[in-house]
Amino acid sequence: MRLLRHILVAAALVAAGASGAVAGAPERVVSMNVCTDQLAMLVAAPGQLVSISHLTRDPATSALAEEARAYPIHHGQAEEIFLLEPDLVIAGTTARPTTLSMLRRLGVRVEQMPSASTLGEIRDNIAHMGELLGQPERARDLVARFDERLRAVRGRPYAPPLAAPYYANGFSSGGRSLAAAVIEAAGYENLGTRLGLEGTAPVPLEVLLMHDPALLILGTHDYDAPAKAQEIFAHPALERAFGRARRIEIANSAWVCGGPFTADAVEALALRRSKTARAPR
């Protein structure tokens, strides 16, 4: 997966350099959000993106954490961002209003972009980033390659097996969540959707065991010390029901933010799908 990300970023830089930006494209762009940072890194021309959030260097939430080390970082303060002399600042919808308001009062153009909760919204956000940066051709190419990867895992003739993402404190994902969209694109039925959940919601262990999903999907965790929120994963009933053949770890960074790299999660799940039906029950 890391090699795929390197190829993706390298291809983005080559394509961005080869295709000229549209007239009036911003020359100094600052991104303030882990999700917008990663899209901007893939879409921007060389030298166009002058700073990203320090959080994008954290592999727990960023699929492009290693690549992010090539960019100067900021800590989200209006003063430090203003001193970078940006002609465009791109933020998420959860950014602090006071920070954005101050930047706008200082004459800085600020655009906000929502996070994606469906694969269609990933496409929309990539296209929108292309418009903001004046790089529509690069954005269209990213969307085309994203769709090509998704098409490669579709069209299986058999009924989709049941899968359940399971998080700390016994939470799972239902409809209108990126996790559910990824699971369904990989050819599974999502347990949270079957239960009628919306977004992220708790699923008691008893309910999980009763529905007996064919595959348990866990996130990746890197804690310096034992965390109480993770105790559910050591429960004997969970250990007995879901052996190694019936569980998979998907990097949190693959679906914390929606982007071309989200196809990594779809492909990993689709690869396991053929084994799921044969896994010991």
Tens digit of pLDDT for each residue in 246-277? 999 999 999 899 999 999 999 999 999 876 55
Written as six digits, the tokens of 89 are 């600042």
What SS3 class is residue 230?
helix
pLDDT tens for 147-168 read: 999 999 876 656 899 999 999 9
Domain with CATH 3.40.50.1980 in the chain: 2-150, 162-276
191 near 164, Cβ under 8 Å? yes
Q: Determine the Cα–Cα distance for residues 100 and 184; give it in Å rounded to an integer.
A: 36
Q: How far apart are CA 245 and CA 239, in angstroms?
A: 12
- Look at residue 107 and tell me whether its pLDDT is greater than 90: yes
Confidence of residue 22 (pLDDT cuts 50, 70, 90): confident
Averaged pLDDT, 64-72: 98
Give me 30's structure tokens: 């600052």
- Give the model's pLDDT for residue 18: 43
Q: Which of 92, 94, 103 is nearest to 129 (CA)?
A: 92
Q: Which fold has domain 2-150?
A: Rossmann fold (3.40.50)
Confidence of residue 100 (pLDDT cuts 50, 70, 90): very high
Which pLDDT score, from 0 to 100, does residue 4 have?
A: 47
- CATH fit for domain 162-276, picks 3.40.50.740, 3.40.50.2300, 3.60.10.10, 3.40.50.1980: 3.40.50.1980
The residue among 37 and 279 whose pLDDT is bigger is: 37
**pLDDT over threshold 80, residue 278:** no
Q: Is the pLDDT of residue 62 over 60?
A: yes
Q: With 50 as the cut, is the pLDDT of residue 144 above it?
A: yes
Say yes or no to pLDDT of 23 above 90: no
Query: In this structure, what token pair is assigned to residue 49?
Result: 């993106």
| pTM for this entry | 0.87
Q: Measured between alpha carbons, how far is 237 from 172 in angstroms, rounded to an integer?
A: 17
- Per-residue pLDDT, 155: 62
Write b or e for each residue in 165-182: b if 16 or more Cβ atoms lie within 10 A of its Cβ, otherwise e: bbbbebbbbbbebbbbbb
What pLDDT is stored for residue 220 in this prediction?
83
Q: Of the ranges 71-75, 196-200, 211-215, 232-236, which one carries the lowest mean pLDDT score?
A: 232-236
- The overall average pLDDT reported for the chain is 90
